A and B are shown apart, each in its own frame.
Chain A
Amino acid sequence: MVLVAILIFGPLGDVFLKRGMGQVGAVTAAHWIQVIRAVFTPWVALGIGFLLVFFAAYLHALSWADLTYVLPATSLGYVVLALLSTYMLHEQVDLTRWLGILLVSLAVGFVTRGPEVTPRKQREARPEPALGAPVRSEP
């Protein structure tokens, strides 16, 4: 459930940000203050709201799983992002980019077939936790 929230709110937040920054236009180094002003435009603000929910879910996941487990498990969000970019922002996602997304997804699938959690010294004898069945962390 936490991981699903990460997959939904992360990519949507990114898409809203892009829509907002598209309205602001290209920011040059000389006019970097525009970035601060951009935060208060509606689409960017909505994107930030979604990314805050994403962040809360991400922290939740990090409290019971390894970083090298959480990162691959949530990388599928970038496939969601590619789909959203195509249908909401009408960006060009050509065959080469699809192949890139496929390779990233393959890497994700490959890494998640390994063990999810590095056994700590304190919990070496315990079984690996399953998805959605968090292991109690050591205090």
Chain B
Amino acid sequence: MRTLYTWVGIAAVVLFSSAGDVLLSRAMKKIGDVGQLRRQIGIFGVVGRILTSPVFFSGLACMALAFFSLLLALSWADVSLVAPASASLTFVTSAIAAKFLLHENVDRRRWLAALLACAGVALLAR
């Protein structure tokens, strides 16, 4: 039962953090390079731009849900299982989401890397 709880928790972390990653990436690309913006409008200007972005808050909401799923999963299993498992699977689902939603160039090399990450996760889950 505890194993089932753990994997449901990990699945929730993966789905929410992938959605969060994609939304945050889209928001930050829209806002622009933070380093250069800071020189132009100051740190408070940058923070203001981020905090007035609806896409950023959608991403933040997904990240918050992922965070509470992570807290739950961490109370059921070791951190060296939960954290690498959810993060590596997130790497794969985010690559898929980045390809189809953000139109990033995910080539054969990146798919192969995703499979390697999956194999790593399978070993970590033992």
Nearest-CB residue, chain B, relative to A95: B123
Cβ B109 vs Cβ A114 within 8 A: yes
Q: Is the CB of B110 within 8 A of A81?
A: no
State whether the Cβ of A111 lies closer than 8 Å to any Cβ in chain B: yes
CB-CB under 8 A from A89, the residues of chain B are: 79
| B61 on the A face (CB < 8 A) | no
Across-interface contacts of B25 in A (CB, < 8 A): 62, 66-67, 70
How many chain-B residues does the 8 Å CB contact rule pick out? Answer: 59
Contact indicator A66/B98 (Cβ below 8 Å): yes
Known: A62-B28, A85-B79. A97 touches B113 (CB 8 A): no
Assuming A66-B104, A67-B94, is B123 touching A103 (CB within 8 A)? yes
What residues on B are CB-neighbors of A35 within 8 Å? 68, 71-72
CB pair A91–B36 under 8 Å, yes or no, is no
Number of interface residues of A (CB under 8 A): 62
**What are the residues of chain B within 8 A of A100 when measuring CB–CB?**
84, 120-125
Q: Please, which residue of chain A has its CB at the minimum distance from the CB of B99? A: A68
**Residues in A neighbouring B63, C-beta threshold 8 A:** 55
Q: Is there a chain B Cβ closer than 8 Å to A21's Cβ?
A: yes
Give the residues in chain B near A4, CB-CB below 8 Å.
none
Given contacts A38-B71, A68-B106, A134-B35, contact A93 B22 (CB under 8 A): no
A21 near B105 with CB under 8 A, answer no
Q: A18-B78, A67-B94 are in contact. List 7 more A-B contacts (CB 8 A).
A: A26-B2, A27-B76, A68-B104, A68-B110, A104-B117, A107-B116, A108-B113
* A-B contacts, 8 listed (Cβ < 8 Å): A17-B74, A26-B75, A59-B34, A66-B98, A96-B123, A97-B81, A99-B123, A138-B32
